[in-house]
Homo-oligomer: A and B are copies of this chain.
Amino acid sequence: MSSPSDMSTPPDELSARAIGLFVAINRRYAGEAEAAAAAQDLTPLQAKALLATMDPVPMRAVADKLHAEPSNITAVVDRLEERGLVERRAAPGDRRVKLVAATDRGRTAIAELRAAMPFAGDPLGALGTEQREALCRLLELVVGPQERQA
Contacts and interface: CB of A to CB of B under 8 A. Distances in A.
Interface of A: 1-12, 14-15, 17-19, 21-22, 24-26, 28-30, 33-34, 44, 47-48, 51-52, 65-67, 113-114, 117, 120-124, 126-127, 129, 131-136, 138-144, 146
A67 B5 CA distance: 9
B6 A65 contact: yes
Nearest to A47: B7
A67 B122 CA distance: 27
Contact of A19 (B67, B123, B138, B144): B123
Contact of A7 (B11, B117, B139): B117
Contacts of A12: 122
A63 to B, nearest CB: 11
B51 A7 contact: yes
Contact of A30 (B2, B51, B122): B2
Interface of A is mostly: helix
A8 B120 CA distance: 8
Contact of A9 (B2, B28, B34, B117): B117
Nearest to A128: B141
Given A1-B1, A21-B139, A21-B142, 12 more contacts: A2-B30, A3-B29, A4-B29, A5-B48, A6-B51, A7-B113, A7-B120, A11-B121, A21-B140, A22-B22, A28-B146, A126-B141
Contacts of A65: 6
